[in-house]
């Protein structure tokens, strides 16, 4: 006997099943892509941690500088010879990758800084079309760790006034941040109390990015890397005096070489 044609109800059921399967496949692909980006980001952070150890071995156990001498990082500053010891030049040279001094040379090389697969970036970061007019970093060094604030103000590199910290001075290296996912302009903040995301090469909790499903990666001084939810890194309590910044007293993440110091 010849089978009757599909009824409208049967067609609707089949269509719904196909749509569901398609959504599941697409969701799985998207989830897999995000997971791969998170792992690639962690690997990039580990590369910078490895370079930091090599640099410290050759520089009396000291960490590199965090940023340009006046704290403002432009292409011109990145390429200045007086900023050769800033991490984005010094560690890049140690790691054997292109340094910011080279990227800063021409508009073409500045665009190359944002190329897919660059060790300077988290692959999950998304930059605006005009990003190349300014050096934006999606991975940054911990801005609260680089100088001994008890000797002098940050940014002063004269040994008589201030100095870079030694790794050996960091009291809890396995919980002290060294590099982190850094928010770039246009990204959604974890909470409204954070500072504006400017993509500077130095950052801390107030610029911590949650681009990995409201979580971000942190490389610690001891070399371990963790993906932490934003709520474990940023103080989101609207009534806290530290809101938008680091959680204090510290629980999961320490930002200063001495955990008793306020970040």
- Which residue carries 């610690």 as its tokens? 220
Q: Is 249 a member of any domain?
A: no
In this prediction, residue 209 carries a pLDDT of: 98
Q: Is 244 a member of any domain?
A: no
Please state the domain count of the chain.
1
Query: For the residues 225-230, what does the mean pLDDT come to?
Result: 98
Q: Is 263 a member of any domain?
A: no
How many other CB atoms are found less than 10 A from the CB of residue 103?
26
Residue 159 has pLDDT above 80, yes or no: no
Residue 74 has pLDDT above 70, yes or no: yes
The Cα 94–Cα 99 span in angstroms is 10
Domain ranges, residue 68 = 10-232
- pTM metric for this prediction: 0.84
Q: Is 5 a member of any domain?
A: no
In this prediction, residue 132 carries a pLDDT of: 74
Q: What is the DSSP letter of 63?
A: P
3-state secondary structure of 155: coil
In this prediction, residue 152 carries a pLDDT of: 47
Q: Is 256 a member of any domain?
A: no
**What is the 3-class SS of the chain, one letter each residue?**
CCCCCCCHHHHHHHHHHHHHHHHHHHHHHHHHHHHHHHHHHHHHHHHHHHHHHHHHHHCCCECCECCCCCCCCCHHHHCCHHHCCEHHHHHHHHHCCCCHHHHCCCHHHHHHCCCCCCCCCCCCCCCCCCHHHCCCCCEEEECCCCECCCCCCCCCCCCCCCCECEHHHCCCCCCEEEEEEECCCCCCCCCCCCCCCCCCCEECHHHECCCCCCEEEEEECCCCEEEEEHHHCECCCCCCCCCCCECCCCCCCECCCCCCCCC
Query: For the residues 66-89, what does the mean pLDDT come to?
Result: 85
Q: Is 156 a member of any domain?
A: yes
**pLDDT > 90 fraction of the chain, expressed in percent and rounded:** 67
Geometric angle at alpha carbon 176, from 33 and 31, rounded to 5°: 10
Highest mean pLDDT range out of 33-37, 143-147, 151-155, 219-223?
Answer: 219-223
In this prediction, residue 8 carries a pLDDT of: 63
CA 69, chain centre distance (Å): 21
Query: For the residues 124-131, what does the mean pLDDT come to?
Result: 85
Q: Give the residues across from 70 on adjacent strands.
A: none
Inter-residue contact 185 to 119 (CB < 8 Å) = no
In this prediction, residue 108 carries a pLDDT of: 93
Of 26-40, 45-59, 88-102, least confident by mean pLDDT is: 26-40
In this prediction, residue 227 carries a pLDDT of: 98
Q: What is the DSSP letter of 178?
A: E
163 vs 144, which has greater pLDDT?
A: 144
Show Cβ contacts of residue 101 under 8 Å, excluding neighbours closer than 6 positions.
78, 79, 80, 83, 84, 89
> Could you tell me the CA-to-CA distances from 13 to 18, 22, 91 in Å, in that order?
9, 14, 59
Query: For the residues 101-122, what does the mean pLDDT come to?
Result: 94
Q: Is 3 a member of any domain?
A: no
Query: For the residues 7-22, what does the mean pLDDT come to?
Result: 68
């Amino acid at each position: 006997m010849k089978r009757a044609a599909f009824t409208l109800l049967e067609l609707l059921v089949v269509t719904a099943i196909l749509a569901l399967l398609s959504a599941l496949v697409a969701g799985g692909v998207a989830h897999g892509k995000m997971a791969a980006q998170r792992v690639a980001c962690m690997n990039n952070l580990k590369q910078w941690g490895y370079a930091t150890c090599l640099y410290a071995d050759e520089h009396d156990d000291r960490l590199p500088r965090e940023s340009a001498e006046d704290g403002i990082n432009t292409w011109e500053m990145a390429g200045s010879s007086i900023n050769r010891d800033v991490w984005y030049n010094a560690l890049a040279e140690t790691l054997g990758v292109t340094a910011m001094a080279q990227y800063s040379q021409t508009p073409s090389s500045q665009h190359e800084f944002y190329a897919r697969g660059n060790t300077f970036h988290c692959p999950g970061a998304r930059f605006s079309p005009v990003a190349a007019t300014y050096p934006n970093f999606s991975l940054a060094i911990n801005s609260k760790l680089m100088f001994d604030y008890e000797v002098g103000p940050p940014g002063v590199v004269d040994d008589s006034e201030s100095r870079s910290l030694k790794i050996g001075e960091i009291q809890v290296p396995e919980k002290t941040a060294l590099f982190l996912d850094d928010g770039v302009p246009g990204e959604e903040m974890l909470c409204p109390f954070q500072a504006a995301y400017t993509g500077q090469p130095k950052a801390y909790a107030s610029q911590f990015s949650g681009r990995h499903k409201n979580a971000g990666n942190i490389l610690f001084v001891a070399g371990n890397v963790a993906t932490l939810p934003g709520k474990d890194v940023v103080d989101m309590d609207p009534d806290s005096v530290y809101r938008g910044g680091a959680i204090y007293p510290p629980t999961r993440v320490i930002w200063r070489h001495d955990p008793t110091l306020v970040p």
